[in-house]
Chain A
C-alpha cells in the first residue's frame, strides 16, 4: 500500500518535473532568446523586436550555445527518463550558478541592476530541484564514477583551447561593461563547457547525452566562428575549424564510450 502510494507520488512528481522542464526550455529558447540569438550569425534579427548590433552577433551565438543548446538541450534530453540522467540536471544547476557567479564577479554593477535574474534563476532551479524524483542523486550520486581517460584528455585539450577565450572574455567584460555581459557570457560559456567535459568524463548515467550536447555546442561555435571570423569574441577561422574538428572527435568518442560502457555493464552483470 505504502509502496503504491510512493509510486503514485513519484509519477506525479515526474509529470510535474516534465511540465516545468518544458516551460523552462521554452522560456530559455524564446523568452531568453536562446534560439533567435543562436541563429544570429546566419539569420539577423530573427524573431527579434530590434536588430542586434553587428559587433554583437558572435556574442549572440555564444548566448545561443549556452542557453539554447546546453541549458535548454539538457532539459529537452531529460524529458525522457529524467530519473536516469541526474548528471544533466547537475550540469544545468552548476551551469546556471557559474553564469551567475561570472556575472557577479566580472560586472558587479550589472549584477545588482539585474538582480531579478538571480531571483528568476533561483526559482527555476528550486522548482526543478523540488520536483526531481532523485534529489539525492544530484550532488551525492550513488554511482561510483569511472573516469574516462580519453574524455578527460579531451577536456584537457579543450582547456588549452578555451583558456584564451575565457581570459579574453573576463578581461573584455571587466574593461567594457557597456555591452551587457556579452564578453562575460563567453567566459561563462567556456567554463560551463569545460565543466560539462569533466562531468561527461565521469561515465555516469546520462554522461553520453551530455557529451553529445557538448559536441553540438563545439560544432555550433566552430560554425559561428567560421561564419563571423573577425567579429569581437570570435574564435577565428582556425579556431572555428579546430572547434568543429574537436566536436566531431568528441561525438565519436561519446558514442565509442557508450559501447565501452555497455561492455562494462555486460561484464559486470555476467
Chain B
C-alpha cells in the first residue's frame, strides 16, 4: 500500500514535471514523428520486398533479403512455391517488426508524458528497422544515414538515461556524447580519410569498448544507488539483454563446435536457422524492455532470473559432463567413439542430475538472495556461532549479524524491553525509516523485545520466503533475548543487592554514631556531674546536713532525668511497649495517649478526633523488624492525621492478609495533596519515612486521597514469610526457656 502510494506519487511528480510544455512537447512530438517515419519506411517497403523475394530470390543472388535466403533445393523440398517462399520471408520480417512496433507503441501509449518512453520506443526501432531500411531504401543514402544516426543516438541515450531519465554523472554523459558525436561525424563522411569506412579495425573496436564500457559503468552506478522500482527495471532490461547476448553467442558459436569451417561453407539452410535463432534471441530485449518501462509485474524478475540461471548452468554442466565422460572413456580404452560410451555417459548424467540441480539451485539462491533458501542451514550457522560466545550482548550481535548476512539487508537491530521501555541492545536502526519491518520477539508467551529489519532498498518489501526465514530466526532470537534479559535482570538484581547491603551497613553505622553521640554528649556528662554531686553531697553531710539534703534531692531529680533519657534512647531502638504489650497493644496504648491529648484539647473549641482501632486480639509472633516497622508506620500515620489532616474520624486497621501484615490508616480529612500543602517545613518527610520503612522490609506502601478529596488512605503491606520460620522459632524457643 505504502509502496504503491509512493510509486504513484513519484509517477505523478514525474508526470507533472514532464508535462508536455516547452521543449518536452517538441521532443515528444519530434520523437513520435521519427517513430512514425521509421514505421512507414519499413512497412511501405514490404510489398516491394515481397515482389523482390518472389521474382529474384529463387533465381538470383537474393542479396537484399533480411535474413539468409533458403536455397532453391530446400524450398522445393519443403514444398514451398515462389509465392510461399516470398510470403514466408515477408511474414518473418513483418512478424518481427510488429512485435517491436507493438511494444514500442504500447510504451508510448502507456507512458506518454515520460521522455524516456519516447527514447525507449525509438531504441526498440533501432534494433529491428535500420538493416531492413538500409537494404530496401538503398537509393536514398541520406535518408538511410539519417535514420541510422537517429536510431543510434536514441539507443545510446536510452542506455545512458534508462530508467530514471537522468544522467548518473555529468562526465559520463559528456564522454558518451563526445564519442557519439565522433562516430556520427565520421559516419556522415565515410569516404573522408577520417570517415568511418576508413577506420582501422582497432579504432572501431576501441570506440565500441569505450562507448559501451561507459554505458555499462553508468548503468552499474545507477543500479547501485537506485530506488527499488528503478532497480527492478534495470534488472529486467539486463536480464533481457543477457538472454539475447547468450542466445546470439550460442547460435553463432555452437555450429563451430560441430564444424570448424561452418562459416566458410556457409550452408544456406543452416544459416537460415541461425539467423532465425538470433532474431528470436534478440526478441528478449523488446519483451523485457516493454515490461520494464510499463512497470508490469516488475517484482517477479528475481524468480525468473533464478530459474534461468539454474537451468542454463545445469544444461551447460550436463553437456560438459556428458562430453567429458565420452572423451575420457575413449581416452581410457584407446578406441574410437562407441555407442556404449554414450550410454555410460548418459548413465553418469542421470545419476548426477538431481544432486547437481539441487546444488546449483542452492548456489544460485545464495547468489541472489543470500542464504534464506535454507532456513535450516541459517539456524545451524546461528547455533554454531552462538556456541562460540559467552557474553549475552555478543549473542544478540551474532543474531543481528546472521539476519543481515542471510537476508542481505542494510541494517538490523534488536530492541529489548527493560522497565516497560525498549532499549536498542544490538545492531542499529535508521532514523524514520518507513520501510523498516518490526518483528516481535517473544518467549513463553511474553513479549521480550523487537527485531528491526531494514528493507533492502527503499520501497522494497520482503517476499514470502524472506518472511518465513525471518520468522524462523525471530523464534530463535526470542530465546536468545530471554536468556540475555535474564542475565541482565540478574545483573540488575545483584547491583540492587549490593546497594542494599551498602545501605544497611551505612544505616547501622549511622545508628551506632547516633547512639555514641547520645551516650557521649548526654549520658556521660550527666553521669560525670552526678559523680561530682555525690562527692559534694558527702562533704556537705559533715558540714551542713540540711544543705546536703537539698543537694541529694536535686541529685535524685538528675538521676530521674538521666533514667528518662536512657529510656528514650532504648525506646528509639525498640519501643518498650512492644515487648510488654505486643504490636496491637502498643498501638492501642499510643491511640489511648492521643485520645488523652485530644481530651486535653477538648477544653478548646477544636473538634475532637475520633480514633478507631481495628485489630485482631492476637497476632502471631512477628519478626522483630516487622513489628517495629509496623508500629512506627502506624504511629507515624496516626500522628500525621492528628497534626495535618483536620479529620474528625480516623480508622486504623491492623490485619494479616495472606503472607502480609497490613497496616491501614484512613481518615476523613482534607486529603493528601491539601494536607501536604498545609504542612509547614519540609513537606512529606513523614510520608517518605513510612514508604521507606515499608520498602526496607520488602513490602509496599500505597498513599492516596479518597474520593472527592475527602480523606486519605495509607496502606502498608509488610511481608512476614521470609522471617516467619527462622525468627519465629527462635522467639518461641527463647520464650519457652
Q: Which residues of A pack against B, CB within 8 Å?
A: 160, 163-164, 167-168, 171
| CB of B605 within 8 Å of the partner chain | no
**Contacts of B331 on A, CB cut-off 8 Å?**
164
Are B334 and A168 closer than 8 Å at their CB atoms?
yes
What 0/1 pattern do residues 426 to 441 of B give for CB contact below 8 A with A?
0000000000000000
A-B pairs with the 8 shortest C-beta distances? A164-B332, A164-B331, A163-B332, A167-B332, A168-B334, A160-B328, A167-B333, A164-B334
CB distance from B592 to the nearest CB of A (A): 78
Question: Measured between alpha carbons, how far is A171 from B332 in the docked complex, in Å?
Answer: 11
Query: Nearest-CB distance from A49 to chain B (Å)?
Result: 35
Residues of A within 8 A of B333 (CB): 167
Q: List 10 A-B contacts (CB under 8 A).
A: A160-B328, A163-B332, A164-B328, A164-B331, A164-B332, A164-B334, A167-B332, A167-B333, A168-B334, A171-B334
| Residues on the B chain within 8 Å of A160, using CB | 328
- 7 extra interface residue pairs, beta carbon distance < 8 Å, beyond A164-B328, A167-B332, A167-B333: A160-B328, A163-B332, A164-B331, A164-B332, A164-B334, A168-B334, A171-B334
Neighbouring B residues of A163 by C-beta, 8 Å: 332
Shortest C-beta distance, B420 to chain A (Å), equals 47
- A108 and B189 CA atoms in complex are apart in Å by 84
List residues of chain B with CB within 8 A of the CB of A167.
Answer: 332-333
Q: Tell me, in angstroms, the Cα distance from A160 to B331 when the chains sit together.
A: 11
Q: Nearest Cβ distance between residue B142 and chain A, in whole angstroms?
A: 57
Cβ–Cβ < 8 Å partners of A171 in chain B: 334
Residues of B within 8 A of A (CB): 328, 331-334
Q: Please, which residue of chain A has its CB at the minimum distance from the CB of B334?
A: A168
Which B residues lie within 8 Å of A164 (CB)? 328, 331-332, 334
- Distance, CA A171 to CA B335, complexed state (A): 13
**Chain A residues, CB < 8 A from B328:** 160, 164
Within the complex, the shortest CB–CB distance from A208 to chain B, in Å, comes to 29
CB distance from B325 to the nearest CB of A (A): 11
Identity of the chain A residue whose Cβ is nearest the Cβ of B330 in the assembled complex: A164
> Which of A163, A164, A167, A168 is most buried by chain B, counting CB atoms within 10 A of its CB?
A164
With A and B bound together, what is the CA distance between A168 and B331 in angstroms? 10
C-alpha spacing A160/B334, complex, angstroms:
15
A163 nearest CB neighbor, chain B only: B332
Cα distance, A168 to B334, chains bound together (Å): 8
B3 shortest CB reach to chain A, Å: 48
B332 contact set on A, CB distance < 8 A: 163-164, 167
The chain A residue sitting closest to B328, CB to CB, is: A160
| Minimal beta-carbon separation of A172 from chain B (angstroms) | 10
B331 to chain A, nearest CB (A): 5
- Inter-chain CA distance A163–B332, complex, in Å, is 7
Residue of chain A at shortest CB distance from B331: A164
CA distance in complex: A168, B332 (Å): 8
CA separation between A164 and B331, bound complex, in Å? 7
Contact residues in A for B334 (Cβ distance below 8 Å): 164, 168, 171
CB distance from A241 to the nearest CB of B (A): 15
The listed residue with most A CB atoms (<10 A of its CB), out of B332, B333, B334, is: B332
B447 CB to closest chain A CB (Å) equals: 42
Q: In whole Å, how far is B631's beta carbon from the nearest beta carbon of chain A? A: 63
Residue of A nearest to B333 (CB): A167
Given the complex of chains A and B, what is the CA–CA distance between A167 and B334 in angstroms? 9
Residue ID in chain B nearest A167 by CB atoms: B332
CB distance from A87 to the nearest CB of B (A): 30
CA distance A6 to B701 in the complex (A): 87
Distance (Å) between the CB of A234 and the closest chain B CB?
Answer: 14
Q: In the complex the two chains form, what is the Cα distance from A105 to B164 in whole Å?
A: 77
Q: How far is the CA of A163 from the CA of B328 in the complex (A)?
A: 10
Tell me how far the C-beta of A227 lies from the nearest C-beta in chain B, rounded to whole angstroms: 21
Give complex CA distance A176, B333 in Å: 17
The CA-CA distance from A73 to B685 in the complex, in Å, is 96
B338 to chain A, nearest CB (A): 15
Alpha-carbon distance A185/B279, docked complex (angstroms): 58
A63 to B25 Cα, complex, angstroms: 86
Write out the residue numbers on chain B whose beta carbons fall within 8 Å of the beta carbon of A168.
334
Assembly CA distance A164 to B335 (angstroms): 12
Nearest-neighbour CB distance to chain B for A162, whole angstroms, equals: 11
- The residue of chain B having its C-beta at the shortest distance from the C-beta of A168 within the complex is B334
Write the nearest CB–CB distance from B307 to chain A, whole angstroms: 31
Chain B nearest Cβ from A195, distance in angstroms: 20
How near does chain B come to A168, taking the closest CB pair, in angstroms? 7
Bound Cα distance from A163 to B333, whole angstroms: 10
In Å, the complex CA distance between A185 and B43 comes to 76
Q: How far is the CA of A171 from the CA of B331 in the complex (A)?
A: 14
B329 to nearest A CB, angstroms?
10
Once the chains are docked, how many angstroms separate the CA of A160 from the CA of B328?
9
Shortest distance from the beta carbon of A136 to any chain B beta carbon, whole Å: 40
- With both beta carbons as reference points, the residue of chain B lying nearest to A160 in the complex is identified as B328
In the docked arrangement, what's the CA distance between A163 and B329, Å? 10
State in angstroms the CA–CA spacing of A39 and B328 once bound together: 31
Chain B: minimal CB distance from A240 (Å):
15
Rounded to whole Å, the gap between the CB of A16 and the closest CB of chain B is 46
CB distance from A246 to the nearest CB of B (A): 16
Measured between C-beta atoms, what is the minimum distance from B289 to chain A in Å? 44
User: Which chain A residue shows the least CB distance to B332?
Assistant: A164
For residue B319, give the distance in angstroms from its CB to the closest CB of chain A. Answer: 19
Nearest CB to that of B329 among chain A residues?
Answer: A164
Cβ of A170 to closest chain B Cβ, rounded Å: 12
Assembled-state Cα–Cα distance A171/B333 (Å): 10
Complex CA–CA separation, A181 to B649 (angstroms):
126
Q: In the bound complex, how far is the Cα of B321 from the Cα of A160, in angstroms? A: 14
**Cα-based distance from A167 to B330 in the complex (angstroms):** 12
| Complex CA–CA separation, A163 to B334 (angstroms) | 12
A181 vs B331: C-alpha distance when bound (angstroms): 23
State A179–B63 Cα separation when bound (angstroms).
65
